[in-house]
Structure 1
Amino acid sequence: MNRSQALNRLVPPRARDRLGDALLARVAGPSGAENRARIHGTPGPRWFAPGEPIRQVHGDASMFVGGLSALLLQSLHPRAMAAVAAHSGYRGDPWGRLQRTSTFLAFTTYGTAQDAQRAVDAVRAVHGRIRGRTPDGQPYRADDPHLLEWVHIAEVDSFLRAYQRYGAGHLDADGCDAYVAAAARVGQALGVVRPPRTADELAERIEAFRPELRGTEEARAAARFILLRPPLPWPARPPYALLAAAAVALLPPWARTPLGLPLLPRTERWCVGPAGTAVTGAIRWALRQTPPAPGPRQPDPRERRVRASGA
């Protein structure tokens, strides 16, 4: 008996429906049902066809882990973090920010080309109004192509890492490249000048940004808020803690120390990994996701590089 079958026997269907509805309400917001109907029910050409890896990745429960990991990784760029701290409202309205992000991903991944472009135009209009300075006086603009590139590659890398580790399926090397190339279309539409189009290029771009990254007080405060002080009712905090631990475990080792996060390889291998798999599986079950049966699991090409380099 697999995990889904065991949960089906233990949990009444109505309880499963209530749990799934609550999760969707948190992630999609009050307009979630209306947006879903528009996204999936409106005829017309799409940016991405059914079966493309970007649809596979962005529709999986592993995005709950990938999204948290992306926020932590993005916070390491001081100018990007300053813009988030001053303008995103992540503390005062964290669920609103999550809902706006998930809605953007849904429209650009699954919606009509017209609606996808509208979503991009709305984000670009917001970015065009955001200006400021970091605490040490560095100017920033949210529409700066360099900062947009960092936000883009941190997201793409985190979403792909999460899917490869906790997803219902698994992408081979060609699938990883196809995912990065598809995400590049969205990044370019948002203003990224030359987004990476293969997994190798993605790894190279992240490595090139490392001299600019550091753990500011704002970044460490954001990490504490995301990981330790989520605005959740107490019954939801234990499963969220598992998601948060899985998100930290996805980070590259070099990203942990600047944020004050531990590196515990044995704990992560034997405890965090299985727990992350269990909680993403439970979310997948609650949302009634029916992913295709995964094929033979193949090593992520980036995992091979990490083992070869000893990083």
Structure 2
Amino acid sequence: MTPLQSVRKRAGDAIFARVAGDEGPARRDRIHLAEGPRRFPSGSPIHVVHSDASMFVGGIRALLLQSMHPLAMAAVDAHSGFRGDPWGRLQRTSTFLAETTFGTDEDADGAIAVVRAVHDRVRGTAPDGRPYVASDPHLIRWVHVAEIDSFLRAHDRYGARPLDAAGRDEYVSQTAHVARALGAVDVPETVAELEQVLADYRPELEATDAARRAARFILVQPPVPLTLRAPYGLLSAAGVAMMPRWTRWPLRLPWLPIVEATAVRASGALITSAIRWAIGSAPPMPDHA
């Protein structure tokens, strides 16, 4: 192994360990190399998007955007433990995405069953007095569309292989399978439908105190070591720059259009390219997939 390859491996291992945990390599091999039928063929749009380093930017945007629904945020604030164990939650989320994107049908169905069981137990009352339950199809659809819109927009801007219009529609359609399996209804199947559903949720959205606390935690007090603060700052700035303008003041996010269109966009491209280089390509899918 050359010195350059050694540096790349160490960097890739550090990033992967944060996202996937100590058991990440074994879990990755199990997911990617297991024998069995899979819902999505290798190289399909959902594989292209979910294997790209732009997911780091999309993930930050998704968390911020999802927090704008008061009932969804109340459930996260009371039950997820994202402040007490942020990396554990991230690792569980990344594993779920991997299993439902790249895993066998059996693994994907198992992961979905686990999440549905958790959702059935998550219920309570929001600060405004409204009851919530995480298995509510309306809330599941909100979490889904905020996530998919974020992943797709980040990939459009920073992905190594941007999708064409047909590929973007196929991505939305493919991710709809998982949303419906989790209990969502009326799930969008095209980009146009996705945009309409997001617009339909707009009257319900607002930034609660819990949402602003979550934003501060994600952006100002991230649970990352000092050595990763600089690259994390570039990722979070890129994520914030992609947030809708109407979310900025409610969440107390900065809005600097000229800087975001120049320096932030350039630094976002730099850091996602660096992560892509460090991690390298995903393990190959088995020949029968």
Query: Following superposition of structure 1 onto structure 2, how do residues 109-188 of structure 1 map, counting pairs within 5 Å?
Result: 109-188=101-180
Deviation at 1:193, TM superposition (A): 1.1
Q: Considering only aligned residues, what root-mean-square deviation do their CA atoms show, in Å?
A: 1.5
Does 2:275 correspond to 1:283? yes
Deviations 1:133-159 (A, max 9, x none): 111211000000000010000000000
Return 5+ residue gaps in structure 1 as ranges. Answer: 1-8, 291-311
Distance 1:179 1:100 in 2: 22
Deviations 1:58-95 (A, max 9, x none): 00000000001000000000000000000001100000
Q: Which amino acid aligns with 1:152?
A: H
1:33 is matched with which residue?
25
Deviation at 1:38, TM superposition (A): 1.1
Distance 1:258 1:52 in 2: 37
2:287 is matched with which residue?
none
Q: Relative contact order: is structure 1 or structure 2 higher (C-alpha 8 Å, sep ≥ 6)?
A: 2
The percent of aligned pairs where both chains have the same amino acid is 59
- The partner residue of 2:181 within 171, 178, 189 is 189
Distance 1:222 1:193 in 2: 27
Query: Following superposition of structure 1 onto structure 2, how do residues 211-250 of structure 1 map, counting pairs within 5 Å?
Result: 211-250=203-242
Distance 1:179 1:57 in 2: 8
Output the TM-score relative to the length of structure 1: 0.89
Does 2:65 correspond to 1:73? yes
Deviation at 1:289, TM superposition (A): 2.6
Deviation at 1:12, TM superposition (A): 2.6
Distance 2:4 2:173 in 1: 42
Q: Which amino acid aligns with 1:145?
A: P
Does 2:247 correspond to 1:261? no
SS in 2 for 1:157: helix
Deviations 1:151-195 (A, max 9, x none): 000000000000000110111111110000000001000110121
Distance 1:22 1:77 in 2: 33
Q: Which amino acid aligns with 1:76?
A: M
Output the TM-score relative to the length of structure 2: 0.95
Query: Following superposition of structure 1 onto structure 2, how do residues 47-126 of structure 1 map, counting pairs within 5 Å?
Result: 47-126=39-118
Does 2:171 correspond to 1:204? no
Distance 1:272 1:63 in 2: 17
Distance 2:219 2:44 in 1: 32
Return 5+ residue gaps in structure 2 as ranges. Answer: 283-289
Distance 2:165 2:13 in 1: 35
